[in-house]
Amino acid sequence: MCIVEMDPKSRLEKLTKQAEEISIDLSIPSKRYVRSCIEIARMGDTYYSELNYEHAYVLYMKFLVLTLEKLRNHPDFRFLPHGDLQKCKDLAKDIFPKVEKLKELLNKQFEEEYLRWYENEDKKLEAEREMKRQEEEKIRRREQEKRDAKGNVKLPPTPPTLPYNSLIIEPVKIPDNIIYDEPEKGLPSESMQAMTGLSESDRDLNWSNDKGEEKVKKLVAGARPDVNRALKPSTGPLTAEQNENSNTLGLKSLWIPNSLINRFIDIAEKNTLRNIETCGVLAGKLGFGKFVCSHLIIPEQTGTSDSCVTLKEENIFEVQDKNQLLTLGWIHTHPTQSCFLSSVDLHTQCSYQLLMPEAVALVCAIKCDELGCFRLTDLGIQEVAKCQLSGFHYHSNNPPTYLEATNVKFDPDIPLFVIDLRK
């Protein structure tokens, strides 16, 4: 059944149910969920300002379900700092009236779409009936003519038929985006500057890294970096596409500046030479149905040859709040190891992806000059989210727990802003 065929009430209920399906992983600290809630509200605001009411409604509902219900059952909820709780309360206060308004707008939109569909179906049925009637009439006439040829029986008068043209039904055009008179905010400018939130002076235009470029020219071959397919998890019954289609509203594309990879490898070089991993956070904005990564944030961290731990996460959050940035994934080096996600990486990626389905794990395997862009599969998410183990442990890859992230696209024209929080 096409979504438009659903009666408006069920359609809204379906959206609400979709929002309620959000589940939380109790091993992820509630503080991180608060961050996620703030980002969900931020994305909801973007959709609301773009008049994309369905997406805005789902995200706002997710925010409410998380903050008012799910998070309260988290074991460390009562240890949340007062400031975090207050932030959620303030946002909820703002979101409640918006959700009520969205319900009205969506009901109206769904009713109109349903009515158009119904009218169109009715016309189609009528046309089919008329065609059938004409067909039968033709057969009847032919038979009569045959009988006439044998005997000389007169035809009874036939009812008048409609001219053929009157049976052609004009398809009803449903506008992609029905606009109601409710925008509180204007549409953001379409320019990349508006998307990335960077002014000319913000951008690090003086960056040059011929050295890094040369060293990893294999990593960024053209617009799309090479990914070592030999080291990919074996192909199971689940393809990347199937994995992505699990979300009713679809997985959005994530655009990453080409320069990010070389820039990160250069920043990590000192550690890499000492065989120590380095990690960074990918942050950016949502606009017109796609995510654009504009910021690479290097947090305070400690690392070893096969691990890297972020310290003082609150400093990352501060940068993100200041620039209204969403968390879009993470990047880390494997100084000597090959290009893959370790079990520790799987758990880290799971925590990102549970909060943001589009989030990606970029792995720069320096020694073998390879770049991996990975996402967990739906099965991987299920498996890792319920896994209580920490440190390095075994996760089967058949069916695959992660695959190449097909929603990631590289663009040479996106400006990159690097914020290094290390002392």
CB 364 within 8 A of CB 215: no
Closer residue to Zn ion (CB): 68 or 389: 389
Residues 385-414 that bind Zn ion (CB under 5 A): 387, 389
The span from the CA of 364 to the CA of 278, in Å, is 10
Going by C-alpha positions, the residue among 304, 263, 307 that lies closest to residue 282 is 263
Which of 25, 50, 113, 345 is in the footprint of Zn ion by CB under 5 A? 345
Closer residue to Zn ion (CB): 269 or 345: 345
Closer residue to Zn ion (CB): 120 or 336: 336
Q: Which amino acid is at 309?
A: V
Residues 6+ apart with CB under 8 A from 86: none
The conformational region for residue 278 under phi > 0 = left, psi -120 to 50 = alpha, else beta, is beta
Closer residue to Zn ion (CB): 61 or 366: 366
Closer residue to Zn ion (CB): 319 or 387: 387
Closer residue to Zn ion (CB): 95 or 346: 346
Closer residue to Zn ion (CB): 336 or 342: 342
x-or-dash string of contact with Zn ion, 313-342, rule CB under 5 A: -----------------------------x
The span from the CA of 13 to the CA of 8, in Å, is 9
- Using Cβ positions, the residue closest to Zn ion within the complex turns out to be 387
CB 326 within 8 A of CB 283: yes
Question: Which token pair is 12?
Answer: 């809204």
Residues 6+ apart with CB under 8 A from 403: 232, 233, 238, 239, 240, 243, 374, 375, 377
Going by C-alpha positions, the residue among 394, 407, 415 that lies closest to residue 245 is 407
Going by C-alpha positions, the residue among 385, 393, 401, 390 that lies closest to residue 26 is 385
x-or-dash string of contact with Zn ion, 360-389, rule CB under 5 A: ---------------------------x-x
CB of 262 to Zn ion, least distance (A): 19
CB of 381 to Zn ion, least distance (A): 12
CB of 50 to Zn ion, least distance (A): 36
β-pairing, 370-376 vs 360-365, is antiparallel
Size of the site for Zn ion (CB under 5 A): 4
The span from the CA of 8 to the CA of 296, in Å, is 43
Closer residue to Zn ion (CB): 56 or 276: 276
Q: How far apart are the first and last CA of the chain?
A: 57
Closer residue to Zn ion (CB): 54 or 345: 345
Block residue for tokens 């990593």: 219
Question: Which token pair is 53?
Answer: 């009411």
x-or-dash string of contact with Zn ion, 59-78, rule CB under 5 A: --------------------
Q: Which alpha helices (H) appear in 356-404, and where do they start and end?
A: 378-386
| Peptide bond between residue 399 and the one before it cis (omega within 30 degrees of 0) | yes
Cα Rg of the chain (Å, integer): 28
Residues that bind Zn ion (CB under 5 A): 342, 345, 387, 389
